[in-house]
Structure 1
Amino acid sequence: MSWLFYIFDIAILALLIRTLLKRYSHSPLKKFFAPALLLKLGAGILLGLLYKSYYEGGDTWVYYHEAVKLTTLFKSSPIDYIKFLLLSQGDVLSAMQYHGQPRALFVVKILSIVNLITADNYWLSSAFFSFFSFTGLWMLANRLVGIYQNKQLAIVLSLLFFPSILFWSSGIIKESLALGAMAFLIHSFLGYIFRYKTINIYLLADLLMLFILWNTKYYYAGLLLLFITAISLTLYIKKKFVVIGRSPAYQLSLFGLLCVLCLLIATSLHPNFYLHRLPSVIYDNYQAFIGKSDVNDIIYYYSLEPNWPSMLAHSPKALLSGLFRPFLGERTDLLKIVAGVENLYIFLLTISAFFKIPRKLTDESRLLLIGAIAYCMVLCIFLALSTPNFGTLIRYKVGFLPILLLIATLNNPIIEKLNRLVK
């Protein structure tokens, strides 16, 4: 009977792929669709194999086994299963390894729904997770191509083919859900501000993606909402007041002020965001990673203390480490060597991008650039301080890495020369 489920699942996946391809049948990126999707699905399989053979389990397999408990519950009591999905209540909760970890439990719930379709087949469920991530990134890539003409190579490299992004947002991990949802939200936001779409029924999809992002990576969601709101309000106010609309300096000043106001509001959205508590949260996470990590696999912040002056003093090192470490040659295991090569590439792209900083930008593009830079810097510093383990940081960086790469490649002279070869 299982093979009937597998045929059914493959048919569903094929239908979803066909629908997505048909929607973008006239896209200039159409030639990249098949290779990017195949690599994405393959990366999900490789991730499962890596965790199973090298890490001897890891989060992805724990998610799977926990989700199997829920599908078993569904078979015996669908009502109790639905009750658990909605309220996280029931006898099964005490048997869950992620009891008390709401974000991990959220992933398990989503996976259990997928497992009902795939008959608890890890690899098929992984394919659906990978496809969700790919869909968000594919939609964002096509939106960007419509806004920034003749930038195909920069966009597909940043979103679809960069190894870390390709690998660490595939398969059954939080980042697959988080990055797919985040990419969809940015796609929608760009559609609104560049007037490709109006607020309508698609708002329901935006709210669903925000719900997924918040429940998987709330700090991604909090920062993204902060800058989206500040940019949106700045553009709205500049339309109402001519003096602001005519002055980029006034617009940037207004944007900065709105960021501060939004930050004050955002700090009330989650206990870990409270300004008086945030340094302690970062410090506690740092100490926890120090205690369980190899001494050669850690970013050390000597004299780090749980207060704002200390956090700010260590921020430059955190920013540099989060962006470009591990350096090539700093570590000798394969994953860190690959990361070192990538980081060297990112460093060279970042340096070369300064040689062609755009002189004239529209108000929308200027605010997007400033907001994107601020998002990358803040999230990078936060992650590097609170998650100083290189192995974990490489995975968590996918929360800002696509945006960082877009900043570094969209007007990069090296990429522009290569771009002529793929037209």
Structure 2
Amino acid sequence: MIYWTIHIVLLGLLSYLIFRLVKSEFPPFVFWVGLIFKLAAGLILGYIFYEYYGMGDTITFFELAKKPESENLKSPRIQFFVALLKPLIQSTGGSYWITSLWLSFISFAACWYSVVILSGLYKTIKNLIAGCFLFVPSIVFWSSGILKDSLAFAAMVTLVMLAIKLYKEAKFSAKDVLILILSGFLLYKIKHYLFITSLLFFGMLITSLILRKIQGRQKWLIAIITLTIALGATQFIHPYLKISRIAWTLFENNQAINKKSDTSQLHIFIEDASWNSVVNEIPVALHTGLFRPSILDKTPAWGWIHKIENLILATLIFLSLLLCVKLKPDIDWPLFLAASLCILLLAIMLPLSTPNFGTLVRYKNAFMPFLLLLSSILPYQYLTSQSNE
């Protein structure tokens, strides 16, 4: 009981400190309800895995980190994550539940910081931004608790928001630079493909910024060099994620997961390690990555949350296309294209490499809030009579 008392007090104090320091125009209840929702999601995640599955990554990571001596793990990413967990678990007296609260809190703090940044840049849709990142059930659930995804999600949303802040030429503080470096390092260590996607997004925005700010012909040379550096940097992140090996990596992962499943839920089969085989599966993978599981797919009972969210997403995308034709709104094309390309890249690659719903709904969570936000802006502005930004 002493551990619970100490950590609840610490969590309360830190929460209040963040609430006071990260200033926003939101009513106080948005922060506190969002925080409670996030903490509860981490506990529910642990309860589901312990009570219904009896196994899973969250349990594996916790048990590995509880051991006094570190194991020689094959995956550097797992080894890094477990090393981060060890001191935290020791400080909680070996409590899964308190440790889960801390991971959820860290994820929430990053999301709140990111929401405040983006809502400051786009004030007329601030409520929409908060809703997409803080209150969508599956997004909150899969970025909470003792999972690598909690920290990866926190790092990625922070990187993306800071990239947008830089692109919009807002004031960039020393604190922002420090958080940018920390988030980049954390994402690099935990989720290589998300770090690569973030680099591409950052590179495209910086290239656009250069074209906008620099005059003369030399701006094209500088822009091309910048984009080339960003693209080139992605080739040094992981040997299996180099362009020359991506087809092989997708094939191997696809085969491994399909062999473990009695039947393929997604019907995505890469026949060999050639690009031709990969390209053949892209249309199905794109539809799956964006809209499945759908209401027609068979899932466990709680899969209905994902199915309803995907139905809403499909409706919003359809409405956005109609409104775009009707209203012809002003669009920040560099930002829209950079975001869309990165979302589509993940929406295609993830189903190709992880052709089952259990893994897919967790991994696609990385881009879901961004896709949901992009799809909601025009319908939201139309229904609330807000002006375009």
Normalising by the residue count of structure 1, what TM-score does the alignment of the two structures yield? 0.84
Alpha-carbon contact 1:227-1:259 (below 8 Å) kept: no
In structure 2, relative to structure 1, the CA distance for the partners of 1:239 and 1:346 (3 Å cut) is same
Q: Distance in 2 between matches of 1:277 and 1:26?
A: 45
**TM-fit CA distance, 1:319:** 0.6
| 1:417 alignment partner, one of 383, 386, 389 | 383
Residue aligning to 1:82 = none
Mean Cα deviation higher: 399-408 or 301-310: 301-310
Give the CA deviation at 1:18: 0.4
CA contact (8 A) 1:184 1:209 kept: yes
Partner of 1:84: none
1:124-172 per-residue CA deviation (whole Å, 9 max, x = no partner) reads: 1101100111111111111121111221332122111111101110100
- Give the alignment partner of residue 115 of structure 1, picking from 89, 93, 102: 89
- Pick closer, same or farther for the CA change 1:198–1:30 going to 2, 3 Å: same
CA 1:291–1:260 in structure 2 vs 1: closer, same or farther (change >3 Å)? farther
Structure 2 partner of 1:58: 56
Q: What per-residue deviation string (whole Å, max 9, x for no partner) do you get for residues 263-288 of structure 1?
A: 34412321012222110110010011
Question: Mind listing any 5+ residue stretches in structure 2 that lack a counterpart?
Answer: none
Provide the C-alpha distance between the structure 2 equivalents of 1:390 and 1:336, rounded to a whole number of angstroms.
9
User: 2:344 matched to 1:405?
Assistant: no
- Asked if 1:374 corresponds to 2:341, the answer is yes
Please tell me the residue identity of whatever aligns with 1:131: F
Residue 152 to residue 200, structure 1, CA distance change in 2 (3 Å): closer
Match of 2:71 in 1: 93
Distance 1:164 1:324 in 2: 14
Is 1:165 aligned to residue 132 of structure 2? no
How far has the Cα of 1:199 moved from its partner?
5.7
Structure-2 separation of matches of 1:122 and 1:382: 33
Residue aligned with 1:226, SS = helix
Task: Provide the residue aligned with 2:360 in structure 1.
Answer: 393
- For the aligned residue pairs, the C-alpha RMSD in angstroms reads 2.5
Post-superposition CA distance 1:327-384 (Å, at most 9, x none): 10310421332221111111111111112336324xxx32111111001000111101
Quote the Cα distance in structure 1 between the aligned partners of 2:338 and 2:223. Answer: 9
Q: CA deviation at 1:202?
A: 3.6
Contact 1:24/1:30 (<8 A) preserved: no
Q: Does 1:306 align with 2:280?
A: no
Aligned residue for 2:8?
A: 10
Task: Give the drift of 1:112.
Answer: 1.1
Give the alignment of 1:180-199 within 5 angstroms: 180-198=154-172
Q: Which moved more, 1:257-266 or 1:351-360?
A: 257-266
What CA distance in whole angstroms lies between the structure 2 residues aligned with 1:124 and 1:418?
41
Judge conservation of contact 2:41–2:144 (CA < 8 Å) in 1.
Answer: yes
**Cα separation, 2, equivalents of 1:399 and 1:276:** 25
Could you give the per-residue CA deviations for residues 212-240 of structure 1, whole angstroms, max 9, x where no partner exists? 11111110011111220221133124311
Note if 1:270 corresponds to 2:221: no
For 2:289 and 2:19, how far apart are their aligned partners in 1? 35
SS of the residue aligned with 2:141?
Answer: helix
What letter corresponds to residue 306 of structure 2 in structure 1?
A
Kindly indicate whether the alpha-carbon contact (under 8 Å) linking 2:118 and 2:129 is maintained by their aligned counterparts in 1: yes
Q: Is 2:261 the counterpart of 1:287?
A: no
C-alpha offsets along residues 4-53 of structure 1, whole Å, 9 cap, x if unaligned? 33222112111110011112454225331111111110000000000001
| CA-CA distance at 1:59 after TM superposition | 0.9
How big is the shift at 1:115?
1.4
Further displaced range: 3-12 or 14-23:
3-12
State how 1:178-257 maps to structure 2 within 5 Å.
Answer: 178-198=152-172, 200=174, 202-241=176-215
Alpha-carbon spacing, 1:398–1:29, altered in 2? closer, same or farther (3 Å): farther
Say whether the 8 Å CA contact 1:29–1:152 is kept in structure 2. Answer: no
For 2:252, give the aligned amino acid: D
Match of 2:297 among 304, 327, 330: 330
Residues of 2 paired with 1:18 and 1:139: CA distance?
14
The equivalent of 2:285 in structure 1 is: 318
What secondary structure is seen at the aligned counterpart in 1 of 2:212?
Answer: helix
- Pick the aligned partner of 2:329 from 337, 356, 359: 359
Higher mean alpha-carbon deviation, 254-263 vs 214-223, is at 254-263
The code of the aligned residue for 2:241 comes to: F
Q: Deviations over 1:47-72 (max 9, x none)?
A: 00000011112111111111111xx3
Q: Distance in 2 between matches of 1:30 and 1:243?
A: 50
CA shift in 2, pair 1:130/1:303, >3 Å: closer
Which one-letter code corresponds to 1:4 in the other structure? I
Give distance in 1, aligned partners of 2:222 and 2:274: 29
**1:334 aligns to what SS in structure 2?**
coil
Structure 1: tracts of 5 or more residues without a match? 74-91
Distance 1:143 1:285 in 2: 37
* Counterparts in 2 of 1:419 and 1:337: CA distance versus 1, 3 Å: farther
CA distance in 1, matches of 2:305, 2:343: 22
Q: Which amino acid aligns with 1:134?
A: F
Provide the residue aligned with 1:339 in structure 2.
Answer: 306
How far residue 262 of structure 1 moved from its aligned partner, in angstroms, is 3.2
Out of 132, 141, 163, the residue aligned to residue 106 of structure 2 is 132
Percent identity between the two aligned chains: 30
Q: 2: CA distance between counterparts of 1:201 and 1:38?
A: 26
